[in-house]
Amino acid sequence: MARPEKHVFVCTHSRSSDDPKGSCAASGSQAIVDAFASEFESRGLWGRFKLNTSSCFGTCEYNPSVLVYPEGVMYQKVAAQDVATIIEEHLLGNKSVDALKMPEEVWS
């Protein structure tokens, strides 16, 4: 397998519906995974980029979350309709999507 240019991780962690933190799964992360997979398929991007689901990133107040490596850019409150923008601007254009970026203090 060739090394992908970028690796996209989508949090799909699930918690009990009464948990005050909520979860990425309860916030629609599977639709984000499906949107990435569909876009990768229709654009012929499989192999160039890799897509995986992940357990908790620890950023529950910002769910659903998407993390892109090797840059280590995390996106917050991502919706399925944001996926095309992330692909166009970040994956293909090498520029992070500032409007969706996680606050810097999350990394401190």
Average pLDDT across the chain, whole number: 94
pTM (predicted TM-score): 0.94
- What tokens appear for 15 in the block? 């918690």
Where does 4-108 show beta strands of DSSP type E?
6-11, 49-54, 66-69, 73-75
Q: pLDDT-based confidence at 108, cuts 50/70/90?
A: low
Domain 6-107 has CATH 3.30.1300.10: no
| Cα–Cα distance, 93 to 14 (Å, whole number) | 32
**Domain-by-domain residue ranges, the chain?**
6-107
Burial of 86 (0-12, 13-18, 19+ CB in 10 A): buried
- What tokens appear for 11 in the block? 């949090």
**Could you give the percent of the chain with pLDDT greater than 90?**
82
- 70 neighbors 6 (Cβ within 8 angstroms): yes
What is the tens place of the pLDDT at every residue in 40-83? 999 999 999 999 999 999 998 899 999 999 999 999 999 999 99
Q: pLDDT-based confidence at 14, cuts 50/70/90?
A: very high
